[in-house]
């Protein structure tokens, strides 16, 4: 009897230990990542880290461009020197211009020649302001040279003509004698710029002409036919105006009806928006609103996967790029600003959008080869804000700068098992990640924890590689709503990260709530 009591006691003790272990495991559950460090085959195009500069609000005028007569703001040919320095540090690879919706109202010949002879125009899409066309083709392309960035020109299909766009290509790219190259030389530029990336219209389903997909496919074929290479080494990359969000029929129609040898890329736009009629404040938001925006940001994974699957049916060799040339968070404008200028602040929430989205793009680098954050300065999820002589860098800027280690590096496949970020009855994966190996053989891992309240412990294993050292940088803050202001421009800055260490052959990492981390392994 005593023996049986001891047996029962031992059983209860064992059950208690098992229960305790179960509780501990559940409370302190670890995320698990396996990086296949010897399986890299795909290059992460640097152009995934592209940006967008539309004639919208103070993105161009007062943002990039202050005019070469400015006496208070140091500039090079009218472009702010502080902006140039910041974007070069961020390693901006490609810049899309002049729109957006503006592109299909823009006639490029109005923006060349002596500035005092250029006609005015009304920006019908964005605030109804009158522009003097002082920032045009030469200004943009010369600025791209200063930045070391590829220009991506969005051509006018909505209100333009085939001849107009064909002439623009000749003007920018033809080296020999021709009407347009002679005109370029007369305007002060002898050598062509050799612009590779050309968008044939923008949002043709909406502000670019409210076209049906079949109609636009035919228009694209016509425009693409007359856009000759004009001696540009490597050829033009013609990019079709693509789908809004989950319009897979649009993508299928283009892939089915446009010959692949005429099609360099198909665009897709997706913004993280709570409600188009009531978007909410950029800085004064609840956790419910934050969670809603994260749900929208996570939709990028589904959209990229499904659009790529449609493209795979017609292009199994993946010759055509999926070009996500507009993405980012969209909120109500800041109080007291012009509603048509789309000026909004940029908080840690936006850093979460950026970190999560860039991880998605990296992991789909086989198909996603160009992307453009909307927009670069003073508009939507910008990386820079300006106010006369002052300039600040946003949390989104810092994420883009931290992640630039992936540019043109080899994607390392990874398997991730993550805990959930739970809010109410809903949940999202808490941790996202991507990894690459650069040309020097250095491996980088980027990690984003979107959970608003909980830290995440992560165990990372590697197949096919061993590392001796780990270092890192982290971007986080005290509150999700924190942002950099002109009064506190360095409130949110990357700092050294010490929360990673090797233990029993694995890399153990602890991510604070709403944080972005970049690890360097050698």
- Structure-block tokens of residue 260: 């692949």
Catalytic residues: 203, 326
Domain residue limits at 472: 28-40+412-521
- Intra-chain end-to-end CA distance of the chain, in Å: 62
pLDDT for residue 219 is more than 80: yes
Last residue of a domain, one of 358, 381, 408: 408
Q: Two tokens at 8? A: 């029962």
Model pLDDT for residues 116-163, shown as the tens digit of each residue = 999 999 998 998 999 999 999 999 999 999 999 999 999 999 999 999
pLDDT digits (tens, 9 = 90+) for 320-357: 999 999 999 999 999 999 999 999 999 999 999 999 99
Q: Give the start-end residues of each E strand in 330-455.
A: 368-373, 384-387, 390-393, 410-412, 414-417, 420-423, 426-429, 431-437, 443-449
Helix (H), strand (E) at residue 148: none
**Is a pLDDT exceeding 60 seen at residue 15?**
no
Tell me the CA distances in angstroms from 413 to 33, 37, 434, 448, one per residue in order.
Answer: 10, 7, 8, 17
Residue 345 contacts residue 392 (beta carbons within 8 Å): no
**Mean pLDDT confidence for 498-520:** 96
* Mean pLDDT computed over 289-309: 98
Residues 36 and 73 in one domain: no
Q: Are residues 310 and 437 in the same domain?
A: no
- Residue 75, pLDDT above cutoff 70: yes
Mean pLDDT rounded to a whole number for the chain: 93
Last residue of a domain, one of 408, 435, 465: 408
Residues 435 and 403 in one domain: no
CATH of the domain at 482: 2.60.40.1180
What's the CA gap between 376 and 225, in Å, rounded?
A: 32
Q: Is the pLDDT of residue 183 over 60?
A: yes
Higher local confidence (pLDDT), 235 or 307: 307
Q: Is residue 84 part of a domain?
A: yes
Specify whether 36 is located in the same domain as 52.
Answer: no
Mean pLDDT of 462-490: 97
Question: Could you tell me how far CA 443 lies from the centroid of its own chain?
Answer: 22
pLDDT at residue 201 is higher than 70: yes
- State mean pLDDT over 77-105: 97
Asked if residue 452 is part of any domain, the answer here is yes
Structure tokens at 67: 């005019």
* Structure token pair of residue 511: 């991510």
CB atoms within 10 A of CB 249: 11
- Residue range 306-323: average pLDDT? 98
Supply the DSSP symbol for 333.
P
Is 102 within the bounds of a domain?
yes
Specify the range with the lowest mean pLDDT, choosing from 7-16, 431-440, 508-517.
Answer: 7-16
Q: What is the residue whose two structure tokens read 């004064």?
A: 284
In degrees rounded to 5, what are phi and psi of residue 238? -85, 130
- 330 plus 437 within the same structural domain: no
- DSSP 8-class letter at 126: T
Q: Could you tell me the two tokens for 316?
A: 């199994």
Residue 7 lies in a domain: no
CA dihedral angle for residue 66, residue 83, residue 485, residue 396, rounded to 10 degrees: 130
In a shared domain, residues 104 and 63:
yes
Residues 284 and 366 in one domain: yes
For residue 13, being part of any structural domain is answered with no
Number of domains in the chain: 2
Give the β-pairing of 410-412 and 431-437: antiparallel
As a whole number of angstroms, the distance between CA 95 and CA 338 comes to 25
Helix locations, 58-212, DSSP H? 81-90, 137-147, 162-173, 179-186
Whole-number pLDDT of residue 68: 81
Q: Is pLDDT of 29 > 70?
A: no
Instruction: Check residue 234 and give its pLDDT.
Output: 63
pLDDT band with cut points at 50, 70 and 90 for residue 71? confident
Question: CATH number of the domain that 337 lies in?
Answer: 3.20.20.80
Let me know whether 197 and 333 are in one domain.
yes
370 and 431 share a domain? Answer: no
Residue 18: inside a domain = no
Q: For residue 16, is it within any domain?
A: no
Q: Which of 373, 408, 443 is the last residue of a domain?
A: 408
pLDDT tens digits, one per residue of 422-464: 999 999 999 999 999 999 999 999 999 999 999 999 999 999 9
Q: Is residue 20 part of a domain?
A: no
pLDDT band at residue 5 under the 50/70/90 scheme: very low
354 & 425 share domain: no
pLDDT at position 1 is: 39
Instruction: Report, as an integer, the average pLDDT of 379-386.
Output: 98
Same domain, 458 and 475: yes
Residues 397 and 517 in one domain: no
Rounded CA-CA distance 519/348 in Å is 20
């Amino acid at each position: 009897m005593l023996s049986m009591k001891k047996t029962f006691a031992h059983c209860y003790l064992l059950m208690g230990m098992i229960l305790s272990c179960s509780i501990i495991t559940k409370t302190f559950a670890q995320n698990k990542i396996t990086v296949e460090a010897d399986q890299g085959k795909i290059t992460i195009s640097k152009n995934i880290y592209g940006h967008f500069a539309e004639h919208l609000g103070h993105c161009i005028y007062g943002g990039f461009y202050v005019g070469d007569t400015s006496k208070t703001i140091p500039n090079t040919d009218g472009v702010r020197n502080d902006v140039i320095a910041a974007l070069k540090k961020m390693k901006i690879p490609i810049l899309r211009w002049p729109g957006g919706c503006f592109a299909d109202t823009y006639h490029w010949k109005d923006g060349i020649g002596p500035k005092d002879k250029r006609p005015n125009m009304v920006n019908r899409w964005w605030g109804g302001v009158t522009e003097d066309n002082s920032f045009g083709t030469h200004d943009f392309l010369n600025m791209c040279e200063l930045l070391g960035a590829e220009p991506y020109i969005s051509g006018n299909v909505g209100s333009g003509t085939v001849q107009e766009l064909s002439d623009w290509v000749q003007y920018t790219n033809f080296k020999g004698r021709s009407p347009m190259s002679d005109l370029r030389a007369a305007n002060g530029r002898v050598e062509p710029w050799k612009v590779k990336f050309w968008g044939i219209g923008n949002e043709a389903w909406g502000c670019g002409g409210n076209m049906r997909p079949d109609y636009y496919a035919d228009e694209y074929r016509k425009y693409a036919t007359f856009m000759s290479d004009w001696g540009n080494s490597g050829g033009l990359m013609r990019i079709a105006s693509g789908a809004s969000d989950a319009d897979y029929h649009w993508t299928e129609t283009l892939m089915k009806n446009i010959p692949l040898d005429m099609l360099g890329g198909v665009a897709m736009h997706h913004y993280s928006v709570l409600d188009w009629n009531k978007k909410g404040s950029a800085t004064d938001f609840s956790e419910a609103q934050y969670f809603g925006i994260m749900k929208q940001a996570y939709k990028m994974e589904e959209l990229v996967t499904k659009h790529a699957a449609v493209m795979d049916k017609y292009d199994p060799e993946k010759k055509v790029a999926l070009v996500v040339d507009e993405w980012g968070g969209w909120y109500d404008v800041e109080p007291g600003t012009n509603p048509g200028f789309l000026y909004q602040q940029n908080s840690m929430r936006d850093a979460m959008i950026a970190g999560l989205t860039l991880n998605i793009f990296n992991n789909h680098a086989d198909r996603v080869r160009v992307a453009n954050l909307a927009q670069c300065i003073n508009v939507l999820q910008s990386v820079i804000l300006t106010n006369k002589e002052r300039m600040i860098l946003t949390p989104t800027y810092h994420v883009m700068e931290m992640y630039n280690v992936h540019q043109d590096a080899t994607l390392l496949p990874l398997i991730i098992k993550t805990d959930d970020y739970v809010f109410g009855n809903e949940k999202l994966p808490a941790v996202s990640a991507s990894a690459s190996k650069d040309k020097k053989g250095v491996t980088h891992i980027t990690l984003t924890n979107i959970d608003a309240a909980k830290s995440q412990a992560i165990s990372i294993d590697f197949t096919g590689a061993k590392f001796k050292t780990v270092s890192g940088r982290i971007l986080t803050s005290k509150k999700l709503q924190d942002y950099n202001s002109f009064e506190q421009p360095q409130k949110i800055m990357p700092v050294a990260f010490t929360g990673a260490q090797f233990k029993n052959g694995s890399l153990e990492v602890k991510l604070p709530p709403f944080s972005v981390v970049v690890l360097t392994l050698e």
